[in-house]
A and B are shown apart, each in its own frame.
Chain A
Amino acid sequence: MEPEDPKKKEPRHDPELEEADEDELTSQKLQDGLHKLDELYPAFTPSPSWFDQQIVETKNSQRSRLWGDLLKLWLAALLLLFVLYMTVTAQPVVFVTFQALAVVAPLAWLLIRKQEEQHHE
Chain B
Amino acid sequence: MFSHLEEHELIHKATCGDNAALTLLLQQHYAFVYKYLLKITLNPHMAEDIAQETMVKCIEKIKLYNGKSKLSSWLITIATNLFIDLGRRKKREKLWQKQEQDQSLRRMQWRAGQQNEEWPEVLNALAELPEDTRIPVILKHYYGYTYEEIGSMLTLAEGTVKSRVHHALKQLRKELA
**Contact B35–A54 (Cβ < 8 Å):** no
**Contact B176–A27 (Cβ < 8 Å):** no
From A31, A32, A55, residue with most partner B Cβ within 10 Å? A55
Which of A33, A45, A52, A62 touches B123 (beta carbons < 8 Å)?
A: A33
Query: Among B52-60, B71-79, B93-101, B145-153, which stretch is in contact with chain A?
Result: B52-60
**Contact A54–B56 (Cβ < 8 Å):** yes
**Contact A37–B39 (Cβ < 8 Å):** yes
User: Complex Cα distance A39/B42, Å?
Assistant: 14
User: Complex Cα distance A54/B142, Å?
Assistant: 30
Residues of B within 8 Å of A32, CB to CB, are 120, 122
A-B contact count (CB 8 A): 90
Chain A, range 18-32, C-beta contacts under 8 Å to B: 22-23, 26-27, 29-32
Chain A, range 35-51, C-beta contacts under 8 Å to B: 36-41, 43, 45-46, 48, 51
Q: Report the interface size for chain B: residues with CB under 8 A from the other chain.
A: 37
Main secondary structure of the interface of B (DSSP, over half): helix
The minimal Cβ–Cβ distance linking A28 to chain B, given in whole angstroms, is 9
**Contact A51–B27 (Cβ < 8 Å):** yes
**Contact A55–B30 (Cβ < 8 Å):** no
Q: Does B83 sit at the interface, judged by CB under 8 A?
A: no
Residues of A within 8 Å of B138, CB to CB, are 30, 34
The minimal Cβ–Cβ distance linking A34 to chain B, given in whole angstroms, is 5
Which of A22, A29, A41, A58 touches B38 (beta carbons < 8 Å)?
A: A41
Q: Report the interface size for chain A: residues with CB under 8 A from the other chain.
A: 28
**Contact B137–A40 (Cβ < 8 Å):** no
Q: Does B22 sit at the interface, judged by CB under 8 A?
A: yes
Which of A31, A40, A55 touches B142 (beta carbons < 8 Å)?
A: A31
Given contact pairs A23-B169, A54-B59, A55-B59, A30 touches B23 in the complex (Cβ within 8 A):
no
From A27, A30, A31, A58, residue with most partner B Cβ within 10 Å? A30
The minimal Cβ–Cβ distance linking B131 to chain A, given in whole angstroms, is 16
Q: Does A72 sit at the interface, judged by CB under 8 A?
A: no
Q: Does A59 sit at the interface, judged by CB under 8 A?
A: yes
Encode B94-120 as 1/0 by CB contact (under 8 A) with A: 000000000000001001100101101
Interface residues in chain A, defined as those with a beta carbon under 8 Å from any beta carbon in chain B: 22-23, 26-27, 29-34, 36-41, 43, 45-46, 48, 51-52, 54-56, 58-59, 62
The 9 nearest A-B residue pairs measured at CB: A33-B120, A33-B122, A43-B31, A43-B34, A58-B59, A51-B23, A27-B141, A45-B30, A29-B122
Given contacts A43-B34, A58-B60, 16 further A-B contacts (CB under 8 A): A23-B169, A23-B173, A26-B169, A26-B173, A32-B122, A33-B121, A34-B123, A36-B120, A39-B117, A41-B38, A43-B35, A48-B27, A51-B26, A54-B52, A54-B59, A55-B23
